[in-house]
Amino acid sequence: MEKYRDGQRELHCVFVDLEKAYDRVPREELWYCMRKSGVAETYVRVVQDMYERSRTRVRCAVGQTEEFKVEVGLHQGSALSPFLFAMVMDQLSEEVRQESPWTMMFADDIVICSESREQVEENLERWRFALERRGMKVSRSKTEYMCVNEREGSGTVRLQGEEVKKIREFKYLGSTVQSNGACGKEKSHPRYFVQIQKSMKEEERLIVVERNSQFVFSQQEPV
Protein backbone atom coordinates (compact mmCIF):
# COMPACT_ATOMS: atom_id res chain seq x y z
CA MET A 1 0.00 0.00 0.00
CA GLU A 2 2.91 2.35 0.73
CA LYS A 3 4.20 1.78 -2.80
CA TYR A 4 0.86 2.84 -4.26
CA ARG A 5 0.62 5.89 -1.98
CA ASP A 6 4.10 7.13 -2.88
CA GLY A 7 3.57 6.48 -6.58
CA GLN A 8 0.04 7.94 -6.53
CA ARG A 9 -1.25 4.78 -8.14
CA GLU A 10 -4.72 3.39 -7.60
CA LEU A 11 -5.27 0.23 -5.60
CA HIS A 12 -8.77 -1.25 -5.62
CA CYS A 13 -9.83 -3.28 -2.57
CA VAL A 14 -13.02 -5.25 -1.91
CA PHE A 15 -13.73 -6.37 1.66
CA VAL A 16 -15.87 -9.50 1.35
CA ASP A 17 -18.39 -10.41 4.04
CA LEU A 18 -19.94 -13.87 4.32
CA GLU A 19 -23.49 -14.30 5.58
CA LYS A 20 -23.67 -16.44 8.74
CA ALA A 21 -20.38 -18.07 7.81
CA TYR A 22 -20.30 -20.80 10.47
CA ASP A 23 -24.00 -21.59 10.13
CA ARG A 24 -23.82 -22.17 6.37
CA VAL A 25 -21.01 -24.73 6.13
CA PRO A 26 -22.54 -27.81 4.42
CA ARG A 27 -21.67 -31.04 6.21
CA GLU A 28 -20.71 -32.89 3.02
CA GLU A 29 -18.32 -30.07 2.13
CA LEU A 30 -16.80 -30.33 5.61
CA TRP A 31 -16.07 -34.05 5.21
CA TYR A 32 -14.72 -33.44 1.70
CA CYS A 33 -12.40 -30.63 2.84
CA MET A 34 -11.12 -32.65 5.80
CA ARG A 35 -10.21 -35.57 3.57
CA LYS A 36 -8.67 -33.34 0.90
CA SER A 37 -6.55 -31.65 3.60
CA GLY A 38 -5.10 -35.02 4.55
CA VAL A 39 -6.95 -35.62 7.80
CA ALA A 40 -6.90 -39.30 8.74
CA GLU A 41 -10.19 -41.09 8.11
CA THR A 42 -10.35 -42.05 11.79
CA TYR A 43 -10.63 -38.38 12.76
CA VAL A 44 -13.08 -37.60 9.97
CA ARG A 45 -15.38 -40.28 11.36
CA VAL A 46 -14.99 -38.96 14.91
CA VAL A 47 -16.09 -35.48 13.78
CA GLN A 48 -18.91 -36.97 11.70
CA ASP A 49 -20.16 -38.81 14.78
CA MET A 50 -20.09 -35.57 16.79
CA TYR A 51 -22.15 -33.75 14.17
CA GLU A 52 -24.59 -36.50 13.23
CA ARG A 53 -25.77 -36.72 16.82
CA SER A 54 -26.26 -32.97 17.28
CA ARG A 55 -29.80 -31.86 18.11
CA THR A 56 -31.23 -28.58 19.36
CA ARG A 57 -34.36 -26.76 20.52
CA VAL A 58 -35.63 -23.24 19.85
CA ARG A 59 -36.78 -21.11 22.76
CA CYS A 60 -39.83 -18.97 21.95
CA ALA A 61 -42.47 -16.91 23.76
CA VAL A 62 -44.54 -19.95 24.73
CA GLY A 63 -41.67 -22.21 25.75
CA GLN A 64 -39.38 -24.53 23.80
CA THR A 65 -39.89 -26.51 20.62
CA GLU A 66 -39.36 -30.23 20.33
CA GLU A 67 -35.80 -31.34 19.64
CA PHE A 68 -34.79 -31.47 16.00
CA LYS A 69 -31.67 -32.50 14.15
CA VAL A 70 -29.19 -29.86 12.95
CA GLU A 71 -27.99 -30.80 9.46
CA VAL A 72 -25.90 -27.80 8.40
CA GLY A 73 -23.29 -25.50 9.93
CA LEU A 74 -20.55 -25.77 12.54
CA HIS A 75 -21.10 -26.01 16.28
CA GLN A 76 -21.20 -22.59 17.94
CA GLY A 77 -18.81 -22.23 20.89
CA SER A 78 -16.80 -25.35 20.06
CA ALA A 79 -13.01 -25.04 20.24
CA LEU A 80 -12.80 -27.23 17.14
CA SER A 81 -15.05 -25.07 14.94
CA PRO A 82 -12.51 -22.31 14.06
CA PHE A 83 -10.04 -24.97 12.95
CA LEU A 84 -12.65 -26.74 10.83
CA PHE A 85 -13.84 -23.46 9.30
CA ALA A 86 -10.27 -22.45 8.37
CA MET A 87 -9.81 -25.83 6.70
CA VAL A 88 -13.04 -25.43 4.72
CA MET A 89 -12.18 -21.90 3.58
CA ASP A 90 -8.65 -22.94 2.61
CA GLN A 91 -9.99 -25.66 0.32
CA LEU A 92 -13.00 -23.80 -1.10
CA SER A 93 -10.92 -20.75 -2.05
CA GLU A 94 -7.94 -22.70 -3.41
CA GLU A 95 -8.86 -22.20 -7.07
CA VAL A 96 -9.44 -18.43 -6.82
CA ARG A 97 -7.06 -17.38 -4.05
CA GLN A 98 -4.02 -15.33 -5.09
CA GLU A 99 -0.81 -14.57 -3.21
CA SER A 100 -0.67 -11.73 -0.68
CA PRO A 101 -1.20 -8.80 -1.08
CA TRP A 102 -3.69 -9.51 -3.91
CA THR A 103 -5.71 -11.75 -1.62
CA MET A 104 -5.65 -11.55 2.18
CA MET A 105 -7.77 -13.96 4.20
CA PHE A 106 -8.04 -14.56 7.93
CA ALA A 107 -10.96 -16.83 8.88
CA ASP A 108 -13.96 -15.22 7.12
CA ASP A 109 -12.29 -11.80 6.71
CA ILE A 110 -11.41 -11.64 3.01
CA VAL A 111 -9.79 -8.77 1.11
CA ILE A 112 -9.42 -8.84 -2.68
CA CYS A 113 -7.05 -6.28 -4.23
CA SER A 114 -6.17 -5.29 -7.79
CA GLU A 115 -4.63 -2.41 -9.71
CA SER A 116 -7.77 -1.96 -11.79
CA ARG A 117 -11.46 -1.68 -10.94
CA GLU A 118 -12.41 -4.08 -13.73
CA GLN A 119 -10.01 -6.74 -12.46
CA VAL A 120 -11.12 -6.52 -8.83
CA GLU A 121 -14.75 -6.77 -10.00
CA GLU A 122 -13.90 -9.85 -12.04
CA ASN A 123 -12.04 -11.43 -9.10
CA LEU A 124 -14.97 -10.69 -6.78
CA GLU A 125 -17.32 -12.54 -9.12
CA ARG A 126 -14.93 -15.51 -9.23
CA TRP A 127 -14.86 -15.61 -5.43
CA ARG A 128 -18.65 -15.37 -5.25
CA PHE A 129 -19.08 -18.24 -7.69
CA ALA A 130 -16.48 -20.44 -5.98
CA LEU A 131 -17.98 -19.93 -2.52
CA GLU A 132 -21.69 -19.97 -3.34
CA ARG A 133 -21.58 -23.11 -5.45
CA ARG A 134 -20.27 -24.90 -2.33
CA GLY A 135 -22.96 -23.62 0.03
CA MET A 136 -21.48 -20.36 1.35
CA LYS A 137 -23.06 -16.95 0.61
CA VAL A 138 -21.47 -13.53 0.02
CA SER A 139 -23.39 -10.73 1.75
CA ARG A 140 -24.36 -8.11 -0.83
CA SER A 141 -25.20 -5.53 1.84
CA LYS A 142 -22.03 -5.87 3.94
CA THR A 143 -19.40 -6.41 1.24
CA GLU A 144 -17.65 -3.06 0.63
CA TYR A 145 -15.32 -1.46 -1.91
CA MET A 146 -12.55 1.09 -1.40
CA CYS A 147 -10.15 2.71 -3.87
CA VAL A 148 -6.78 3.94 -2.56
CA ASN A 149 -5.50 7.10 -4.28
CA GLU A 150 -8.72 7.36 -6.24
CA ARG A 151 -8.71 9.51 -9.34
CA GLU A 152 -11.79 11.33 -10.53
CA GLY A 153 -14.23 9.07 -12.29
CA SER A 154 -12.78 5.76 -11.07
CA GLY A 155 -16.26 4.30 -10.97
CA THR A 156 -17.86 1.65 -8.80
CA VAL A 157 -17.75 -2.13 -8.43
CA ARG A 158 -20.78 -4.31 -9.08
CA LEU A 159 -21.65 -7.80 -7.91
CA GLN A 160 -24.19 -9.54 -10.14
CA GLY A 161 -25.44 -6.17 -11.34
CA GLU A 162 -25.78 -4.73 -7.83
CA GLU A 163 -23.50 -1.84 -6.86
CA VAL A 164 -21.13 -2.64 -3.98
CA LYS A 165 -21.12 0.00 -1.24
CA LYS A 166 -18.18 2.38 -1.66
CA ILE A 167 -16.33 3.48 1.49
CA ARG A 168 -13.40 5.70 2.44
CA GLU A 169 -12.10 3.64 5.35
CA PHE A 170 -12.35 0.09 6.65
CA LYS A 171 -11.22 -1.61 9.85
CA TYR A 172 -9.32 -4.80 9.06
CA LEU A 173 -7.61 -6.95 11.72
CA GLY A 174 -7.56 -4.05 14.16
CA SER A 175 -6.18 -1.44 11.74
CA THR A 176 -8.31 1.23 10.06
CA VAL A 177 -7.26 1.38 6.41
CA GLN A 178 -8.14 4.64 4.63
CA SER A 179 -8.53 5.56 0.99
CA ASN A 180 -5.58 7.98 1.22
CA GLY A 181 -3.28 5.11 2.21
CA ALA A 182 -3.26 5.90 5.93
CA CYS A 183 -3.73 3.21 8.54
CA GLY A 184 -4.61 3.42 12.23
CA LYS A 185 -5.27 6.49 14.37
CA GLU A 186 -2.16 8.45 13.34
CA LYS A 187 -3.53 9.44 9.96
CA SER A 188 -0.80 11.91 9.06
CA HIS A 189 2.15 10.22 10.78
CA PRO A 190 4.78 8.90 8.32
CA ARG A 191 5.06 5.64 10.27
CA TYR A 192 1.41 4.59 10.13
CA PHE A 193 2.18 1.98 7.48
CA VAL A 194 4.18 0.00 10.04
CA GLN A 195 0.91 -0.90 11.76
CA ILE A 196 -0.71 -2.54 8.74
CA GLN A 197 2.55 -4.29 7.88
CA LYS A 198 2.62 -5.78 11.39
CA SER A 199 -1.00 -6.87 11.00
CA MET A 200 -0.21 -8.57 7.70
CA LYS A 201 2.84 -10.32 9.17
CA GLU A 202 0.81 -11.49 12.15
CA GLU A 203 -1.85 -12.84 9.80
CA GLU A 204 0.79 -14.76 7.84
CA ARG A 205 2.21 -16.16 11.09
CA LEU A 206 -1.21 -17.37 12.21
CA ILE A 207 -1.83 -19.02 8.86
CA VAL A 208 1.49 -20.87 9.14
CA VAL A 209 0.65 -21.99 12.69
CA GLU A 210 -2.79 -23.05 11.50
CA ARG A 211 -1.35 -25.12 8.68
CA ASN A 212 1.21 -26.69 11.00
CA SER A 213 -1.57 -27.57 13.44
CA GLN A 214 -3.50 -29.08 10.56
CA PHE A 215 -0.46 -31.21 9.67
CA VAL A 216 -0.06 -32.46 13.23
CA PHE A 217 -3.78 -33.22 13.46
CA SER A 218 -3.77 -35.18 10.24
CA GLN A 219 -0.63 -37.14 11.04
CA GLN A 220 -1.47 -38.20 14.59
CA GLU A 221 -2.43 -41.79 15.16
CA PRO A 222 -5.09 -42.77 17.71
CA VAL A 223 -3.80 -43.97 21.08
What phi and psi, each to the nearest 5 degrees, are found at residue 25?
Answer: -65, 115
Beta carbons of 117 and 147 less than 8 angstroms apart: yes
> Residue 219: CB partners within 8 Å, gap ≥ 6?
40
Phi-psi bin for 57: left (phi > 0), alpha (psi -120 to 50), beta?
A: beta
> Residue 81: CB partners within 8 Å, gap ≥ 6?
22, 74, 75
- Residue ranges and CATH numbers for the domains of the chain are 2-18+79-219 (3.30.70)
Cα distance between residue 118 and residue 115, in whole Å? 9
> Mean pLDDT by 10-residue block, N- to C-terminus, for the chain (223 residues)?
65 89 90 93 93 83 84 87 90 77 79 89 91 88 85 80 85 73 54 51 48 40 42
Name the pTM for this structure: 0.69
Cα distance between residue 104 and residue 101, in whole Å? 6
